[in-house]
Amino acid sequence: MSPETVKLAVVQMHVTDQLEDNVSRAITHVRAAAAQGAQVILLPELFENLYFCQVEREDYFDLAHPLEGHPFVGRFQDLARELGVVLPLSYFERAGQAHYNSLVCIDADGTLLGNYRKTHIPDGPGYEEKYYFNPGDTGFKVWDTRFGRVGVGICWDQWYPETARVMMLQGADFLLYPTAIGSEPAEVESPNSHHMWQRAMIGHAVSNSTYVAAANRIGTERVGDLEQTYYGHTFISDYTGEMVAEFGDTEEGPLLHTLNLKEARKFRAGMGFFRDRRPELYGALLTTDGVTRRG
């Protein structure tokens, strides 16, 4: 049975090109969050290194590791067990000849509950992820943890209402999105604004009557000849779409809020969004061109 309340922390942090530096900093932030009572703690996407996807370089494939025997996942299992916290943990996965942008969910006793591979892979200036990552093959994941049913998408997944809806249909109590997003290269016409990013996820909170939170990085990173500044604005939204906690573009550390899951469940049932769905009419969602084909 899901708990009535959960204390959530989302971590905002800068990263460097040194694995040990980043892992040690992340551990420090997790400990700080746990000391404030956090029970579920989310770190940003690919916090182990600079956001190398700014450029296409073969050398960066060396950053990927198999889940078994991973260089830092085991340390976070020990940390979760010591502190009694749930840690959804982003990492660069190598599996055979494939590479994935992945996340493993660690329960509060250190158990690995499962692995999620990012479904939606972006491809554009400054975000060349299709060069590095195979499309995820796990489907969307929701995990039963000590502190509720946790649904987690990864960065680009956060723009897709389908991701949020599927995780909610699978019984998620709240939705989390580790991310790495910031400025666009000068030649890109889309706006350098965090507002669209937040509004997209807040829309998921409203249409699913659920808490939604995202953890982003901060700071300016130079990879190859490119430079990007990550705009932070890590936040937590409640089940009505109200922003209940937010960092700016420079704060570092854990951002906390207590989620009232009991009230969210009651509100969600009363809104009727899931009662009034008509999945038998949504066949066009299973196509790329909107034309439902039969037979």
- Chain centroid to CA 89: 9
Catalytic residue, from 118, 129, 141, 221: name it: 118
| Distance from C-alpha of 288 to C-alpha of 249, rounded to nearest angstrom | 36
Catalytic residue, from 105, 128, 155, 221: name it: 155
| Distance from C-alpha of 130 to C-alpha of 53, rounded to nearest angstrom | 9
C-alpha distances in Å from residue 166, one per residue of 140, 163, 257, 274: 7, 5, 24, 11
Catalytic residue, from 7, 45, 53, 141: name it: 45
User: Is 184 marked active-site?
Assistant: no
| Distance from C-alpha of 145 to C-alpha of 136, rounded to nearest angstrom | 22
- The C-alpha R_g of the chain, in whole angstroms, comes to 18
- The residue among 16, 285, 19 whose CA lies nearest residue 163 is 285
For residue 15, the SS3 value is coil
- The residue among 21, 77, 10 whose CA lies nearest residue 49 is 21
How many Cα atoms occupy the beta-carbon half-sphere of 112 within 13 Å?
15
Listed in sequence order, the DSSP H helices in 170-288 are 194-208, 261-271
User: Is 82 marked active-site?
Assistant: no
| Pair of tokens at residue 51 | 């956001």
- Chain centroid to CA 240: 20
**Cβ burial, residue 149 (10 Å; 0-12/13-18/19+):** middle
- 88, containing H or E segment: strand 87-95
User: Is 155 marked active-site?
Assistant: yes
Which amino acid, 94? R
* Positions marked active-site: 45, 118, 155
